[in-house]
Amino acid sequence: MNNDNNIEVLQDVTAKLIDSCEGYQMCADIVEDNMTLKNEFLQRKNNRNILVNDFKAKIASLGGEVKDSGSAAGALHRGYTNFVNIFKDDEEAAVDALDDGEEYLAEFIEKKRKEDGLTADTLTLLNKAHASAKAGERFADFLDD
């Protein structure tokens, strides 16, 4: 098995997972007056951080470099969301940002799962991350209804 491809895939997804943690924090900050929703966003951020740590541990075990930052695309999305928030209700903006981010994350992971030469351990982590993103997307859809 080629560890390099597994490491690269795991690093790519880790960056997106970090983006999603930052996105959940941003959502929690936006809805600061709604403690129930804020706490839900923070709990989801904490759960996603656990997943990030699982990915980092696997990368390290394969001899890869562990990175602690998200992607440029994620930063851009958060900036856009902050801009849009000026014109929308706070909760609506947070839910829209969450829905967009989780949908993008699920699609990104789906593509990565199709790469050649991935180990069973890598696929297991990718499947966990994909399930987490889909759950986040369902949560956003529920809030949007």
Q: For position 98, what pLDDT does the model report?
A: 87
pLDDT in tens, 38-71: 999 999 999 999 999 999 999 999 999 998 855 5
Q: For position 27, what pLDDT does the model report?
A: 87
Q: In angstroms, rounded to a whole number, what is the distance separating the alpha carbons of residues 53 and 128?
A: 13
Q: For position 33, what pLDDT does the model report?
A: 85
Q: For position 78, what pLDDT does the model report?
A: 44
Q: Is 93 helix (H, G, I), strand (E, B) or coil?
A: helix
Spans of the chain below 50 pLDDT: 74, 77-78, 80-81, 83-87
Q: In angstroms, rounded to a whole number, what is the distance separating the alpha carbons of residues 39 and 60?
A: 31
Q: For position 82, what pLDDT does the model report?
A: 52
Q: For position 72, what pLDDT does the model report?
A: 52
Q: Assign 3-state DSSP to the chain and report helix, strand, coil percentages, each to 5.
A: 80, 0, 20
**Contact present, 31 and 94 (Cβ < 8 Å):** yes
Q: What is the pTM of this model?
A: 0.85
Q: Return the structure tokens found at 132.
A: 């987490």
CA proximity to 10, closest of 53, 74, 73: 53
Q: For position 47, what pLDDT does the model report?
A: 97
Helix (H) or strand (E) holding 36: helix 35-61
Q: In angstroms, rounded to a whole number, what is the distance separating the alpha carbons of residues 106 and 85?
A: 24
Architecture of domain 3-144: Up-down Bundle (1.20)
